[in-house]
Amino acid sequence: MITRRRFCKNALLVAGGIAMPLAALEWFDPKRLHAERKDAAPVRWGFLVDTYKCVGCGMCVKACKIENETPYDADVSRTWVERYIVTKDGRTHIDSPKAARDGFIDKRVDLGEGRMETIRDEDIEKAFFVPKLCNQCDNPPCVQVCPVGATYQAADGVVLVDRSWCIGCGYCIMGCPYGVRFFHPVYHVAEKCNFCYHRISKGMKTACVDACPFGARLVGNLRNPDDPVTKVIMSERVAVLKEEYGTKPQVFYRGLSREVR
Amino acid sequence: MVHGEAWTLKEFFVYPNEYIYWTIQIVMYPFMTGLVAGAFVLSSLYHVFGVKQLKEIARFSLVFSFALLPVAMMPLMLHLQQPQRGFEVMMTPHFTSAIAAFGIVFSTYGMIVASELWFVYRRHFVTTAAGLGGKASRSKIEQAWFLLYSVLTLGARDLGEESLARDEKAVRVLAAVGIPVACFLHGYAGFIFGSVKANALWMTPLMPVIFICSAVVSGIALCILTYIATMEIRKLVLSWQRKHGRALETKEELKSAEIQVVRMTSRYLIMFLVLAITLELLDLIFRGYTAVKSWDILRSVIYGRDFVNIFILQYGLGNLVPFILFLIPGLSIRRAAAGCALVLLGVFMMRWNVVIGGQAFSSSFAGFMHYQLPIWPDSFETFKEGLFGALMVGITPFVLFWLVTWVLPVFGRNDSR
Ligand code: SF4
Ligand code: SF4
């Protein structure tokens, strides 16, 4: 017979037993230990895109595809360039054929599935190019939704994907408001721009930054006040994409226009 | 080929990496878990609230819910790019993700259903095992059954008044606990979608509630439908037995019992249907009224591209028509069957319109994507995420149900009270 007293006693013991290891988890949370160190994360990678300088040549996309081994002809890319054509009637025409890998060699606008739209030069009010890449968000929804933690944020802010751990559920692809992610055609796991992590962590620039002939792309350490990227962000008027999602993107744009999606 | 390219058509400006990544299997997933949850809720109506008229269908829907359980996981496995790692969701869950709770919720629910079943069937296990054990000589097959049932009794062979009463109490408690867990199992599927802030169509706190209501609707509809089907088969068997002069019940007895059950159950169906539609319409009206940034593109999807799917198939054929069918007095078996089939179509289309409809527009809000369901598979991928993969998921529960009823007979038993 179990008496009430014995039951209560045992229940307390069990509850206490369970609580102990849980408490240990709290004590030894490595993230907190790390954060409590004074000199925590001296680096926070950020990016600056100067849309005034971009001419849509697509050198960055080419370089990225080769550097990061995204199959060259596959219709996915870690970075891409968008063309915006605003006509006098107020309409905005946007395209990015083949992610602008070959630049914009056709004046017609790509409407998808092989359809093209011709726009006469005299109808154009303004036109510009906008390069896109992962924003390495400070509050990344892609990390939040990954059910196994295969997508995670490094201490220097870059969001990475563990190819050996990703189960390929695609939740992160759905969770990113910028359409940055895709499934790698060879590895069949989530894939995205990681600021060429293998390069920046060795003191090099990203492949796209090196490839851009016009200096439209810059990567830098936002914790370093003397970094050219940080200087521009601190002293000039810059904007980020889709702020309303609360993702706190860390890719900054000069010359962003309200038409940009 | 990039994943998704085989079935995605893009129009206007869609980000280069955007494709329809969540396809038919992700439509099947909430549809199947919905059926699980709904069937369970139906059986609990009898066990917890003592709705006597539902007695026969209660046992049936409990077994059916059990047969559906493994199938709720199937579409997910078929959808994963790395299914061999799917187990990691349970081993290394990352709890900020809605999907990470799957293992816990799912296994809790599974255990509840399994143990409730055990209590319901314990008497059957014991008597069958005793009956077989009493036989002087057993054939190999009988020996196998004997072993199976003996194991299933788990050594609890006491059939005294007191212990049977305890069984009943356990069933009641488990059924009661099961209701919120079943709702959670499904509401949480709704949360997976509703919490994606990047998707303008999905993001609404109403999503879990809408999912639960439509889940119950679909579960009840499927139970009624399968119930009617099995009753028809039993009638056939009966008339065959008649011819050979060994029928136990008359056909009329069966028939009147059947219509009783169907009428009663469809009343609950209507109730939940009204609730589900109200919430869905509320969501739609609210979106139109507040008209935030995404409304322009949502409107062109809802009232334009997906009009037939949403207003004709889902609301019209799937909700309105069955609603009228059920409400016309003097409900007949045939009418109920037609109504239930349409309700199932409606709920399936609702899942479709959420999952596929949510990807019908680009997150650039400047372009559209069109999903072409792969029919004839030309690769494993187009099989998995095509018509035949979905059909496979759809058929499996019935096969399982048929298998399970060999061990847990559903009809013609009066051993539970
Ligand atoms: S841009 Fe998208 S993929 Fe990159 S960190 Fe932000 S949410 Fe994640
Ligand atoms: S696709 Fe991979 S990285 Fe993305 S959420 Fe799923 S498991 Fe995580």
Per-residue pLDDT tens digits for A207-222: 999 999 999 999 999 9
Q: By residue range, what is the domain housing residue B238?
A: 11-404
Chain A positions in Cβ-Cβ contact with residue B297 (cut-off 8 Å): none
Q: Which of B77, B38, B31, B1 is nearest to B389 (CA)?
A: B77
Residue A186's pLDDT is 95
The ipTM is 0.87
pLDDT at A37 over 60: no
Q: Determine, yes or no, domain membership for A219.
A: no
Residue A19's pLDDT is 64
Q: Determine, yes or no, domain membership for A79.
A: no
Mean pLDDT of B55-63: 83
Task: Reduce the secondary structure of A71-127 to three states and give it as a string.
Answer: CCCCCCCCCEEEEEEEECCCCEEEECHHHHCCCCCCCCEEEECCEEECCCHHHEEEE
Q: Determine, yes or no, domain membership for A11.
A: yes
Q: Determine, yes or no, domain membership for B417.
A: no
A205/B5 Cα distance (integer angstroms): 32
Q: Would you say B239 and B223 are in contact if contact means Cβ atoms under 8 Å apart?
A: no
Q: Which of B22, B133, B243, B17 is nearest to A183 (CA)?
A: B17
Close Cβ partners of B241 (under 8 Å, ≥ 6 residues apart):
B247, B248
Per-residue pLDDT tens digits for B72-102: 889 999 999 999 998 888 888 998 998 888 7
**Among all residues of chain A, which has the CA nearest to that of B358?**
A174
CA A164 to chain centre: 20
Where does the pLDDT of residue A40 fall: very low under 50, low under 70, confident under 90, or very high at 90 and above?
low
pLDDT at A35 over 80: no
pLDDT at A183 over 90: yes
Residue B47's pLDDT is 85
Chain A positions in Cβ-Cβ contact with residue B194 (cut-off 8 Å): none
Q: Determine, yes or no, domain membership for B278.
A: yes
Q: Determine, yes or no, domain membership for B415.
A: no
Per-residue pLDDT tens digits for A47-65: 999 999 999 999 999 999 9
Token pair for B110:
């599974």
pLDDT at A138 over 70: yes
Residue B246's pLDDT is 66
A213/B231 Cα distance (integer angstroms): 76
Residue B223, SS3 per DSSP: helix
pLDDT at A194 over 90: yes
Q: By residue range, what is the domain housing residue A181?
A: 141-191
Longest dimension (CA), chain A: 94
Q: Determine, yes or no, domain membership for A248.
A: no
pLDDT at A158 over 60: yes
Q: Which ligand is nearest to the CA of A187?
A: 2
Give the angle A249-A253-A255 at the CA atoms, nearest 5°.
145
- What residue spans of B244-320 are helical by DSSP H? 251-290, 295-299, 307
A104/A94 Cα distance (integer angstroms): 12
A165 near B CB under 8 A: yes
Is A149 close to B3, i.e. CB distance below 8 A?
no
A203/A218 Cα distance (integer angstroms): 14
Q: How far is B186 from chain A (nearest CA, A)?
A: 17
With a pLDDT cut of 70, the percent of chain B lying above it is 97
Q: What is the pTM of this model?
A: 0.87
pLDDT at B56 over 70: yes
**Among all residues of chain B, which has the CA nearest to that of A176?**
B198
CATH code of A150's domain? 3.30.70.20
Per-residue pLDDT tens digits for B295-306: 999 999 999 999
Is B22 close to A174, i.e. CB distance below 8 A?
yes
A242/A224 Cα distance (integer angstroms): 25
CATH code of B292's domain? 1.20.1630.10
Q: Determine, yes or no, domain membership for A158.
A: yes
**Among all residues of chain A, which has the CA nearest to that of B361?**
A179
Q: Would you say A229 and A100 are in contact if contact means Cβ atoms under 8 Å apart?
A: no
A42 near B CB under 8 A: no
Q: How far is A89 from chain B (nearest CA, A)?
A: 17
Per-residue pLDDT tens digits for B353-383: 999 999 999 999 999 999 999 999 888 889 9
Q: How far is B312 from chain A (nearest CA, A)?
A: 28
Is B9 close to A112, i.e. CB distance below 8 A?
yes
Count CB neighbours of A166 within 10 A: 27
Q: Would you say B26 and B355 are in contact if contact means Cβ atoms under 8 Å apart?
A: yes
Residue B416's pLDDT is 44
Q: Determine, yes or no, domain membership for A27.
A: yes
A113 near B CB under 8 A: yes
Residue A1's pLDDT is 55
Q: How many domains does chain B have?
A: 1
Q: How many domains does chain A have?
A: 2
